[in-house]
Amino acid sequence: MRRARHGWHLPEVLLCTVPVVGLAAWLLIGSVADYTRVRRYDDWWTVQLSSAGFLRGRLGAAARLPRALALDDAFDVSTAGPGTLDLRVDPDAWDDLVRGPEPHFGQRLPATVVHDGQAHEVRLRLRGDSAIHWGTERRSLLLQAPKDALLLGRRRTVLSVKAPVATFLSHTLARDFGLLCPETHLVAVYLNGRAYSLMRATDTIDEEFLRRSKRMPGDIFRGDVWAAHERFDGLPRSLFRNAYAWDRTAVDARPRAPGIAPLATWIGDLNRGDVAAHRRLLDRIDQDELARLLAVMLVTGDPHHIDDLHNQFWYRDPTSGALHPVVWDLLLRDVRVPKPGGRINRMWRVLLRDPRLFAATLAELHHRLADETLLRDASRRVEAAWAAHRTVAELDLQRQWPAPRPARPKAVMGILRANAEWLRRRIRDDAKAAVAVQRVGPRRWLVDVQTRGWVGVRIQGLRATDGAAVAGALRPDLDRDGELDSDEPRWEPSRTTMPAGVRGRVTIDPEPLHYRWFVETNAAVDQLRIAFANAVTGEPVSVEPWAPGAAIPEAQCHHPWDLRDPPPPADVTLGGAVHLTEDLRIQTGQTLRIAAGTELRLDPDVSIVARGRILAEGTAAAPITVRPAIAGRPWGTVALQGEGASGSVLRHVTLRGGGGAIIDGVRYQGMVSVYHASRVQILDCELSRNRRCDDALNAVGADLEVARCWIHHANADAIDFDGSSGIIRDCRIEDAGNDAIDLMTCSPRIVGNRLRACGDKGISIGENAAPLVLYNDIRDCAIGIEVKDRSRPALVRNLLAGHDVGIAVSQKNWRYAGPGAPILAGNRVEGAIVPLQCDPAGRVTRVAAEGADLSWLLGPHGLVAGDGIGADATWATQPPSRRVAAARFDASLAHGPHPWRATGAVRRVAARDRHLVAQLRQGESAVCWNGPWNLPDGGWLVVEAAGDPDIQGTVRLIATGGTGVTTPLTVRTAPRFSTLRVPPGRYAGLEISTRCERDDLELRLHRWTLSGRL
Amino acid sequence: MVERQHRLQRERTWIAAWLLSAAVSVGGGTWAVLGGAADRAVESAYLSWGARVQRCQQLVDEGRFEAAKAELAKLDRQLPGRTPRHRLATDRQLLLGLLGECELQLGHKRRCLTALERLVAFNPRTWASHHQLAHALRHFGAPEDAAASDAAVLEIHPNHLPSVDALVAHHQEARRFTRAIEVWETYLDALLVAPIRVRLGGDESVVLVVVDGRPQDVRLPLTLPPGWRGALAVATAGYSIELHALAWLRGQRVGQLTARAFEAAALDEVSWTLDACTKRGARDFVAHAAEARLTGVVAAPEYDVAAMRLRVSAFKAVTPELWRRVESCYDHALALGRLEAARARVRVGGCLEGGSLLPSWQTKP
| Per-position b or e across A345-363, b if 16+ CB within 10 A of its CB | bbbbbbbbbbbbbbbbbbb
Which pLDDT belongs to residue B307? 93
Sheet holding A433-439, edge to edge: A472-476, A513-521, A444-451, A433-439, A544-545
How many angstroms separate the CA atoms of B154 and B125, rounded? 11
* A100 — pLDDT class (breaks 50, 70, 90): low
Map residue B343 onto helix, strand or coil. Answer: helix
Q: A231 at the B interface (CB within 8 A)? A: yes
pLDDT attached to residue A899: 81
Q: Give the distance, in angstroms, between the CA of residue B32 and the centroid of all CA atoms in the same chain.
A: 40
For A196, residues 6+ apart whose C-beta sits below 8 A from its C-beta are A87, A138, A189, A190
Span A526-578, pLDDT tens digits: 889 999 999 999 999 999 999 999 999 999 999 999 998 888 899 999 999 99
Of B155, B221, B362, the CB nearest to A554: B221
At A75, the pLDDT band (50, 70, 90 cuts) reads confident
Would you place residue A802 in the very low, low, confident or very high pLDDT band (cuts 50, 70, 90)? very high
Contact A434, A543 (CB under 8 A): yes
Whether A2 shows a pLDDT value over 50: the answer reads no
CA distance B59 to chain A (A): 24
* Nearest residue, CB atoms, B208 vs list A8, A10, A273: A273
pLDDT of residue A243: 92
Q: For A320, phi and psi rounded to 5 degrees?
A: -135, -15
The C-alpha atoms of residue A93 and residue A104 are separated, in whole angstroms, by 11
A818: left (phi over 0), alpha (psi -120 to 50) or beta: left
pLDDT in tens, A587-613: 999 999 999 999 999 999 999 999 999
Residue-level pLDDT at A231:
63
Q: Cβ contacts (< 8 Å) between A228 and chain B: which residues?
A: 84-86, 89
What does the buried/exposed string (b/e) look like for A462-478 if buried means 16 or more CB atoms within 10 Å of the residue's CB?
bbeeeeeebebbbbbbb
CA distance linking residue A665 with residue A677, whole number of Å: 18
Q: What pLDDT was estimated at residue B84?
A: 84
- The reply to whether A129 touches chain B by the CB within 8 Å rule is no
The whole-number pLDDT of residue A900 equals 85
Residue B328 makes CB contacts below 8 A (sequence gap 6+) with B172
pLDDT of residue A933: 92
- Can you say how many angstroms the Cα of residue A529 is from the centroid of all Cα atoms in its chain? 48
- CA–CA min distance B328, chain A (Å): 27
Q: What are phi and psi of A135, to 5 degrees?
A: -90, -5
Among chain A residues, the shortest Cα distance to B121 is held by A229
Return d(Cα A870, Cα A752) in angstroms, integer.
Answer: 7
Predicted pLDDT at A81 = 74
Q: Return residues 853-882 of A near B (CB < 8 Å).
A: none
**In A609-759, which residue ranges form alpha helices assigned H by DSSP?**
none
The rounded mean pLDDT for chain A is 91
Of B11, B80, B218, the CB nearest to A9: B11
Position A233 confidence tier, pLDDT thresholds 50, 70, 90: confident
Helix pair angle (A373-388, A164-176), 10° resolution:
140
Q: Sign of torsion, CA A711 A712 A715 A720?
A: positive
Which pLDDT belongs to residue A170? 97
Q: Is the pLDDT of residue A756 over 50?
A: yes
CB contact under 8 A, A41 and B86: yes
Q: What ipTM was estimated for this complex?
A: 0.91
For A495, which DSSP code?
G
| Mutate: best of A233, A477, A519, A544, partner B, most B CBs <10 A | A233
* A892 pLDDT tier (thresholds 50, 70, 90): confident
Chain A hits for B222, CB-CB cut-off 8 Å, are 554
Residue A713, number of CB atoms within 10 A of its CB: 15
**Which of B26, B30, B83, B85 to mutate to test binding with chain A, by most A CBs within 10 Å of its CB?**
B85
Q: Cis bond leading into A402, ω under 30°?
A: yes
pLDDT tier at A5 (50, 70, 90 boundaries)? low
Taking 50 as the threshold, does the pLDDT of residue A169 lie above it? yes
Per DSSP, the three-state class of A604 is: coil
Confidence of residue A855 (pLDDT cuts 50, 70, 90): confident
C-alpha B305/C-alpha B202 separation (Å) is 15
Residue B163's SS3 state is helix
Q: How far is B55 from B74, CA to CA, in rounded Å?
A: 13
A230 chain-B contacts, CB cut-off 8 A: 84, 125
E-assigned strand segments in A522-590: 529-534, 540-541, 544-545, 551-552, 572-574, 577-580, 584-586
CA B176 vs CA A740, B146, B172, B300, B335: distances in Å: 46, 16, 6, 53, 14
Task: Give residue A193's Cα distance to chain centre.
Answer: 35
The total number of residues shown for chain B amounts to 365
Round to whole Å and give the CA distance between A843 and A823: 9
Residue (of A829, A789, A795, A832) closest to A809 by Cα position: A789
Report how far residue A51's alpha carbon sits from residue A29's, in angstroms, rounded to the nearest whole number. 9
pTM score of the predicted model: 0.93
| pLDDT tier, A1 (very low <50, low <70, confident <90, very high otherwise) | very low
pLDDT band per the 50, 70, 90 thresholds, residue A891:
confident
Comparing CA positions, the residue from B231, B248, B246 lying closest to residue A554 is: B248
Q: So what's the pLDDT on residue A4?
A: 45
**Inter-chain touch A39–B212, beta carbons under 8 Å:** no
Distance of alpha carbon A915 from alpha carbon B33, whole angstroms: 58
From B80, which residue of chain A is nearest by alpha-carbon distance? Answer: A101
The residues near A516 (Cβ < 8 Å, ≥ 6 apart) are A446, A447, A448, A449, A476, A477, A480, A482, B252
What residues of chain B score a pLDDT lower than 50?
Answer: none
Nearest to A436 among B32, B128, B254 (CB): B254
Residue B61's identity, in one-letter code, is D
Task: With beta carbons less than 8 A apart as the criterion, state whether A940 and A967 touch.
Answer: no
E strand or H helix that includes residue A71: helix A51-74
| pLDDT for res A525 | 86
- What is the CB neighbour count within 10 angstroms for residue A760? 17
* Whole-number pLDDT of residue A77: 74
Helices B127-139 and B143-156, axial angle in degrees (round to 10): 170
**Does residue A675 contact residue A696 with C-beta atoms inside 8 Å?**
no
Host H or E run for residue B69: helix B65-78
pLDDT in tens, A455-472: 999 999 999 888 888 999
Question: pLDDT class for A51, splitting at 50, 70, 90?
Answer: very high
At A747, the amino acid letter reads S
* In the predicted structure, residue A3 carries a pLDDT above the cut 70: no
- Rounded distance between C-alpha atoms, residue A353 and residue A559, angstroms: 8
Work out the angle at residue A854's Cα, subtended by the Cα atoms of residues A850 and A858, and round it to the nearest 5 degrees: 135
Residues of A in contact with B358 (CB under 8 A): 234-236
Q: Is A49 helix (H, G, I), strand (E, B) or coil?
A: coil
Alpha-carbon distances of A516 from A353, A503, A532, A709, rounded to whole Å? 19, 21, 14, 56
Question: B44-48 long-range CB contacts below 8 Å, 24 or more apart?
Answer: B45/A36, B46/A39, B46/B87, B46/B88
For CA atoms A398, A399, A400, A405, the dihedral sign is: negative
The per-residue pLDDT for A494 is 82
Quick check: A650 and A682 in contact, CB under 8 A? yes
Question: Could A553 and B221 be called an inter-chain contact, meaning their C-beta atoms sit closer than 8 Å?
Answer: yes
Give the largest Cα separation in chain A, rounded: 130
A648-675: pLDDT as tens digits: 999 999 999 999 999 998 999 999 999 9
Q: Does A44 touch chain B (CB under 8 A)?
A: no
Radius of gyration in angstroms for the set of CA atoms belonging to chain B, rounded to a whole number: 31
- Strands of A794-796's sheet, edge to edge? A572-574, A591-594, A613-617, A649-651, A680-683, A703-707, A725-729, A749-751, A772-774, A794-796, A823-825, A845-847
Let me know how long chain A is. Answer: 1014
User: Hey, is A501 helix, strand or coil?
Assistant: strand
Cα separation, B39 vs B31, in Å, equals 11
Instruction: Find the mean pLDDT for residues A203-218.
Output: 93
State pLDDT tens for residues A724-741: 999 999 999 999 999 999
Inter-residue contact A148 to A120 (CB < 8 Å): no
